Every structure is written in C-alpha cells, then in structure tokens.
Structure 1
Amino acid sequence: MFDIGFWELLLVAIIGLLVLGPERLPAALRSMQRGMQGLKSYGSKVSAELNHELRIKELHEHLAQAEQLNMDQLPADVQRSIVELKAAAAAVQRPYANPKPAADDSHKP
C-alpha cells in the first residue's frame, strides 16, 4: 500500500524517539497499533455488510425475474436464489412457529 523503505522507518523511529522520549514511545506505538487494528476491523465489517447487502439485492432481482417468468423457464442461478430465499424464510419463521398445541384441558374442574 505505502512504499516505505527501511530508511524512512528508521527516520520516523528516530524522530518519534526524540519527540516522545524513550518512556512514552512504547505506549504510543501500542496505541497506534490498537488504532490500526480498530480501523482494519471496521473496514472488514463494512466490507462484509456491503457484500451481504449486495447479495440481498441480487436475490431480490432474481425474485423479481422469477415473478415475471414462468417458474419452469428460470435459469439455474435464479432457481438457486429462490431455494436460498425459501430456506431463509423458513429459518426466520421457525423461531416464531406456534408450538404444538397443548393437550385439551377441558376435563379439569
């Protein structure tokens, strides 16, 4: 990403040592490292969210195409998308499905 060589890093380290001093330099480097890890984590979360949203958009487009065409004439990728959508819908409905009805308690006094 950046074209930083050994001499540039050495110069930055010397300037950091002069400015911060030997006592605060390790803490500053750790803080900078945590910040960089946070940025990487945020970037990967954003990337994953965008990929998820793009996949949802693709599934919606395939569903719209399926509604326009006869279900037997759909391309294979659209049929796979429909199967995925049905599986996702079933997975969402399972936690909210009605439990089995309890036995009839009409014989209670």
Structure 2
Amino acid sequence: MFDIGFFELLLVSIIGLVVLGPERLPVAVRTIRGWISDIKSFSNSVKTELTGELNIKELNDNLKKVEGLNLQNLSPEVTESLNTLKDAAESVYHPNKKENNN
C-alpha cells in the first residue's frame, strides 16, 4: 500500500526523535499503532457487512426469479426450503415486521 523504504522509515524515525524527544516518542508510536489497528478493524467490519448484504441481495434476487417462474411441480422438500429462504430474506429486510406480528 505505502511504498516506504528503509531510508524513508529511518528519516521519519530521526525526525520523530528530534521533534518529540526520547520520552514521548514511544507513546506517540503506541498511539499511532492503536489508530491503525482501529482503522483496520473498522474496515474489516465494513467489508464483512457489505459481503453479507451482497449475499442477501443475491439470495433475494434468486428467490424472485423462482417466484417469477411460478414453479408448481416442486417436491415438498424444495418447497419447504424455498419458504424457509423466503422467511429468512424477509426477516433480514424487515426485521421489525415479524416482531410486530407476535
């Protein structure tokens, strides 16, 4: 991601040592490391949520295709699976709807 070589890292370290001093430099490094860790965990959680949303959208699109075909001669197992998938997709898109019915 960043193209930082050894000499650039050495230069930043020396400037940090001169500007912050030997007492505050370790604290600054720990703080920056914490910020980077927080940013990485946030980006991973956003990535996970987006992947889940895309999977749900794909599932919903596939269910709409099956409904559009209006398949009548399905086995009971397939029909039950489709109904379960419909309920799961509906509960994701409208989570309060099921709670209001109870």
TM-score when normalising by structure 2: 0.72
Once the two structures are TM-superposed, the CA of residue 85 in structure 1 deviates from its matched residue by 1.6
State the 1:88 CA deviation: 4.2
Q: Please show how residues 23-62 of structure 1 align to structure 2 within 5 Å.
A: 23-62=23-62
Q: Percent identity?
A: 54
Who wins on radius of gyration, i.e. which is larger?
1
Which residue pairs with 2:20 in the alignment? 20
Structure 1, gaps ≥5 residues long: 74-78, 90-95, 97-109
User: Aligned pair count?
Assistant: 85
TM-score (structure 1 length as normaliser): 0.67
**What's the CA shift for 1:71?**
3.3
Structure 1 runs of 4+ with >6 Å offset: none
Paired residue type of 2:37: Q
Aligned-residue CA RMSD (Å): 2.7
Distance 1:84 1:15 in 2: 61
More helix by percentage? 2
CA contact (8 A) 2:63 2:86 kept: no
Q: In 1, distance between residues paired with 2:49 and 2:57?
A: 12
Match of 1:85 in 2: 85
| 8 Å Cα contact 1:62-1:82 kept in structure 2 | no
